[in-house]
A and B are shown apart, each in its own frame.
Chain A
Amino acid sequence: QVQFVHSGAEVKRPGASVKVSCKASGYTFSFHAIHWVRQAPGQRLEWLGWINGGIGDTKYAQRFQGRVTITRDTSASTAYMELSSLTYEDTAVYYCARDGGSPEYYFDYWGQGTLVTVSS
């Protein structure tokens, strides 16, 4: 079955960067894109961007352009999300989710998430 294993919780200072990983199993990694979505306390789910599992091209939400970088290692079936210049508002659970496949646009499997806490 499709599963994702996230890296562990992180605590970062304001201004720092964080890199979160998510290792996929149960399917051919290169056949699906991987998205990153975050959920801050009391806030809506928020999409950060995605990476094509095969060719590795990326798309980012405009509000995170220049601050987020999504990469992948196909040999390890792992996707990474790095967020820089952290502020307190970046405290959230960061999820990876598998793209369900076009022409529909949805996320069919999600990881359990990584809690990132920004604190001084």
Chain B
Amino acid sequence: EIVLTQSPGTLSLSPGERATLSCRASQSVSSSHLAWYQQKPGQAPRLLIFAASRRATGIPDRFSGSGSGTDFTLIISRLEPEDSAVYFCQQYDSSPPLYTFGQGTKLEIK
């Protein structure tokens, strides 16, 4: 089973700053199988990025994803107070079929 480890656990930044969130996989992950989600308290996760770098419909270009192999990054530029949330990465492995998630990074906007 591929384990995803996210860092940092918590990130506290000010509006206008840039956030860099990391997702490291225990084995190589196909870029087309890596996604990022945002979850606010009491809400369902919301898709931000799929295939490592493709923004989902309606996601502003302040959100960008990159990476390959075992190291993936989500960057949120020009932070806004509404970006406060927990961010998860997710991967898919086909043998056996299994989707797994990282433990999340909590982003606080001061």
- Which of A45, A100, A103, A109 neighbours the largest number of chain B CB atoms within 10 Å of its CB? A45
Task: Tell which of B10-18, B19-27, B77-85, B97-105 binds the partner.
Answer: B97-105
Task: Tell which of A9-17, A66-74, A76-84, A110-118 binds the partner.
Answer: A110-118
Partner of B96, one of A62, A95, A111: A62
Expressed in whole angstroms, the Cα–Cα distance for A46 and B91 within the complex equals 12
Q: Determine whether the beta carbon of A47 is less than 8 Å from that of B33.
A: no
Interface residues on B, range: 20 to 34
For B101, the chain A residues whose CB sits under 8 A away are 44-47
Q: Which residue of B lies closest to A60 (CB)?
A: B97
For B43, the chain A residues whose CB sits under 8 A away are 112
User: CB of B70 within 8 A of chain A?
Assistant: no
For B54, the chain A residues whose CB sits under 8 A away are 104
User: CB of A31 within 8 A of chain B?
Assistant: no
User: CB of B2 within 8 A of chain A?
Assistant: no
The B interface is mostly helix, strand or loop, or mixed, namely strand
Expressed in whole angstroms, the Cα–Cα distance for A106 and B103 within the complex equals 17
Q: Determine whether the beta carbon of A107 is less than 8 Å from that of B97.
A: no
Q: Determine whether the beta carbon of A110 is less than 8 Å from that of B96.
A: no
Q: Determine whether the beta carbon of A105 is less than 8 Å from that of B92.
A: yes
Interface residue ranges of B53-110 to A (CB < 8 Å): 54, 56-57, 88, 90-92, 96-104
For A35, the chain B residues whose CB sits under 8 A away are 99
Q: Smallest distance from the beta carbon of A10 to chain B beta carbons, Å?
A: 18
Partner of B32, one of A45, A47, A105, A111: A105
Q: 11 A-B residue contacts at CB 8 Å?
A: A45-B88, A47-B101, A97-B44, A104-B35, A104-B51, A105-B91, A106-B50, A106-B90, A108-B50, A108-B56, A112-B44
Given contacts A108-B47, A112-B44, 17 further A-B contacts (CB under 8 A): A44-B104, A45-B45, A45-B88, A45-B90, A47-B99, A47-B100, A61-B97, A97-B44, A100-B47, A103-B32, A104-B51, A104-B54, A105-B32, A105-B91, A105-B99, A106-B47, A112-B43
Q: Residues of B with Cβ closer than 8 Å to A? A: 32-33, 35, 37, 43-47, 50-51, 54, 56-57, 88, 90-92, 96-104
